[in-house]
Structure 1
Amino acid sequence: MIGPDNASSRDLPDATGERFGVPTYYWGTAPDGLATRRQLRTQGLRPNGQDIAAQVLRPRPGGREPLAAYLYRIDQAAPKREATPEQLMALAKATREHQLRASERHGIARTDFAAAGSHWEVTSAPGIEVTDGPLPTRPDLDWGLDR
């Protein structure tokens, strides 16, 4: 939360940002044109590196720190980037490995899953064939992940 930890409802709203450094509103009363990260995500957007435009606070009883949600300007948001087929394949393989290790912790052997059917196997992603070797690479993209 931006501002003091002991904000109460009498401190709100602070639409000018004088008290907390950014405009601050009651929970659920933010003006149009502002959205949380989650709200941006449902619209297919991301904050795009912009600073926090405002915040909404909901004071809690018992002297606890208020709940805060940071707001970003929708007009400065950018479309979400889509994952590449290679990234999707890497996620599928990592999820599969995570599930297999979890099952082994519960006493189920990996071979039991191979017998369960091919739906447990990571076979392909759009435009990519799976091999037993490392994930396919695209030399035209440098994500800097190998450094």
Structure 2
Amino acid sequence: MSLTHTDSEGKASMVDVGDKDITRREARAEGYIYMAPETLAIVKDNGLKKGDVLAVARIAGIQAAKQCSHLIPLCHPLMLNFIGVEFQLDVEHSRIRIETCCRLSGKTGVEIEALTAASVAALTIYDMCKAVDKEMHIEGIRVLEKSGGRSGHYVYGTEQVEA
């Protein structure tokens, strides 16, 4: 297996997707931001002066997915059909789980868009809460699932990819 974003001489190169078929493509990603229990309670109760943390983080994640080609050097600009950003407050582990979903009908996948949405949503939560919690940390940003295109259907934790 070889890297897709390098040419035969090892130089960075944008993948030519011109000959690929247009297919429905979807990717889901997740990430976690850990914080003090008191901080999680403030987020849950919408008690920050800066505003509704999760509403702002949702919009930030959506905006980030739309901007991937400006942020990631060899990423294709995409016309996304859907971007979803959802949150689950996990009191037991004092964290917020972020799950994102990106969809389109196109010639290239949307994993980077889903990962970027999760990353920026987590960073936005961090930014909005940093005044009350300096110990927050972000972990576990990963692709959960992707489908469409030549490489088939992938689900995190399975070695099998369905074509």
- Sort the TM-score into its range (normalised by shorter chain): under 0.3
Query: Greater relative contact order (Cα 8 A, min sep 6): structure 1 or 2?
Result: 2
Q: Which of 1 and 2 has greater Rg?
A: 1
Could you say which structure has the higher strand fraction? 2
TM-score, L = length of structure 2 = 0.22
